[in-house]
Structure 1
């Protein structure tokens, strides 16, 4: 996948409003593989909605979202499964981890599907992120910041042309945020992937090539 495009997209909830000032809504915007983007938004401006449109979870909008020129409304369930497994990785804001599983099990459960990383790769990330001692701890017993690091690792155990990170460091200090950003960008560069980071305030300190305001 080389490009994700938004053409005159507007969430239905904003229909009829004349006060929408945005770099994305009602505009023509292209996200290209290999480039780094930041999408900033105030609360209620549609950041999570934006992510859901890219991932194909919602279609409650006017306009068109295209992937390599194909309208996402024309993508079937089976094709979406392949896209989410091989083309777009998504770090959810709400993480969506399994609290009853350990930190390692939450990462490994996805890696078993993809076979993308070795156990030593994953263990190295745990060590780099300062939570090697939490590998066998149930996620439900970890802090949200620790869980964010686990969710990032899970997002990286698959091939991808784009990675979408929705508020990935909201509960992390600058040191851990920087480490997580380095790990993500190392993986993205290795795959020549595009990176889209969203934020309503605190965000990874990266060299963004383009910043959009929702």
Structure 2
């Protein structure tokens, strides 16, 4: 999948934003590449990834998945896209608080059958969550919850992975581990990665850095 954005801008922000690397310009996201979008709070990072995920429709301009205008994608087709083509880590995470770490992850994987049990437990161990497998998400720290949400997002096939400030509550060591895992998954699936953050400390020389 390639993604092309043509002169898009959220309608509520139309009077407050000018041209940037994303807004009011032509921008293409190509398979196999990682894009790091840097911007202060309130400039539309969440709005942008929400447009790409199909949950915000209040924008002008056009977004294409390959040659398909996403504004014309039916609701039922979006469900299939979100299961097989586009995965997302939301800034608010969206975990089920009463479910355990493993249950939150397994619930997604039961729908997709994308990861083996061994693969899931390897990710849990790499992200330092092995002692929290049976704890409900509600009692985990936000940083621990972010790692659970990342594993859950990886439990499906995807051509594009959207990550909205996924490391905001992680120390540098855990953020680095997460980034390595993300890069491995993107390479395996030849997928697009789009990550938003407030600062640029997470990107490598292989990332395309864009300012919103």
TM-score between both structures, scaled by the size of structure 2: 0.96
Runs (4+) of structure 1 moved beyond 2 Å? Answer: 14-17, 201-209
Match of 2:33 among 32, 35, 48: 35
Secondary structure (helix, strand or coil) at the match of 1:159 reads: coil
Following the alignment from structure 1 to structure 2, what is the Cα–Cα distance between the partners of residues 76 and 151? 27
Whether the 8 Å CA contact 1:3–1:33 is kept in 2: the answer is yes
Residue 179 of structure 1 pairs with residue 177 of structure 2: yes
Contact 2:33 2:192 in 1 (8 A): yes
Contact 1:85–1:159 (8 Å) recurs in 2: yes
Cα 1:85–1:169 change in 2 (3 A) is: same
- Distance in 1 of aligned mates of 2:142 and 2:14: 35
Aligned twin of 2:100:
102
Q: CA deviation at 1:203?
A: 5.1
- Answer yes or no: is 1:72 the counterpart of 2:70: yes
Partner of 1:121, secondary structure, is helix
> 1:137 & 1:209 partners in 2: Cα distance?
35
Q: CA RMSD in A?
A: 1.3
Question: Unaligned 5+ residue runs, structure 1?
Answer: none
In the TM superposition, residue 114 of structure 1 has moved relative to its aligned partner by: 0.2
State TM-score, norm by structure 1: 0.95
Extract unaligned runs of 5+ from structure 2.
none
Distance 1:33 1:90 in 2: 16
Residue of structure 1 in register with 2:2 after alignment:
3
Which digits, 9 at most, give the CA deviation of each residue in 1:154-196, with x for residues without a partner?
0000001111111111111111111111111111111111111
Distance 1:193 1:140, change over 3 A: same
Q: Where do residues 4-23 of structure 1 align in structure 2 (5 Å cutoff)? A: 4-17=3-16, 20-23=18-21
User: CA–CA distance in 1 between the matches of 2:147 and 2:207?
Assistant: 24
2:54/2:70 contact within 8 Å kept: yes
8 Å CA contact 1:188, 1:195 repeated in 2: yes
Is this contact kept in 2: 1:36–1:207, CA < 8 A?
A: no
